[in-house]
Structure 1
Amino acid sequence: MIAIQVARIIARFVVFADLTEADLLDPDTSVEMMEVLGAQLEALEKGFLRELVDAFVVVAEEYGGEAQQVVRDIAHSFYLEEALAADDPARLAELEASRDARD
């Protein structure tokens, strides 16, 4: 339950930072805040991070259009699966190949 609530907070922040027009939000500041958020997410305890990554899929359904895709992509955008697989070289290689195919 807490992971869903935290995912909602993060999703609102990421959607705001990602989709707000540049004349309303300084792009450099937005990027800096996203980098800080990414570092904080990667530092979470792995069990909770797993719950959070799974929660973004659920929370994304609460959005529509471009915002829904932004929320779905949070784990990908912040390399959270890679953070979860940090101790598993085989899984990291698999994720890298998947990322290369996607990008």
Structure 2
Amino acid sequence: MIVLQIARIIANFSLFLDLTDDDTLDPDEAVEMMEQLAVDLQQLDKGFLRELIDAFTVIAPEYSGEAQRLVRNMAYHFYLEEALAADDPTRLAELEALRAARDD
């Protein structure tokens, strides 16, 4: 499936930005790119975004250690479920409560 291939591309790019040491990659530039990636992902077609969110869970076992955890949580870190629920205040409130509970 193409969504799995795209999920791998996004995951690899994100992992590069997140896990590369500060001597190799300017941390401010990495943060800026991660923020732009988040915006771009949130603007995807809602149907494809749902498939992509699910694909991160499918491909996560292909990675190990910290990388696996980051890929599994990619939708969380990029606020992708919130992007899907943008027109549903009830669902947004649920997601906010889940996020608050998880961050405690």
* TM-score of the alignment, normalized to the shorter chain, above 0.5: yes
The answer to whether the aligner puts 1:88 opposite 2:88 as a matched pair is yes
CA RMSD of aligned residues (A): 0.5
| Residue ranges of structure 2 left out of the alignment (5+ in a row) | none
The answer to whether the aligner puts 1:76 opposite 2:76 as a matched pair is yes
Q: Partners of 2:8 and 2:59 in 1: how far apart? A: 6
Amino acid at match of 1:54: D
User: How much does 1:15 deviate?
Assistant: 0.8
List structure 1 segments (4+ residues) > 3 angstroms apart after TM superposition. none
| Residue ranges of structure 1 left out of the alignment (5+ in a row) | none
Q: Partners of 1:44 and 1:30 in 2: how far apart? A: 21
Partner of 2:8: 8
Could you say what secondary structure the match of 1:61 adopts?
A: helix
Q: How does 1:18-57 map to 2 (within 5 A)?
A: 18-57=18-57
Q: Partners of 1:26 and 1:60 in 2: how far apart? A: 26
How many pairs does the alignment contain? 103
User: How much does 1:41 deviate?
Assistant: 0.3
Q: Partners of 2:70 and 2:17 in 1: how far apart? A: 10
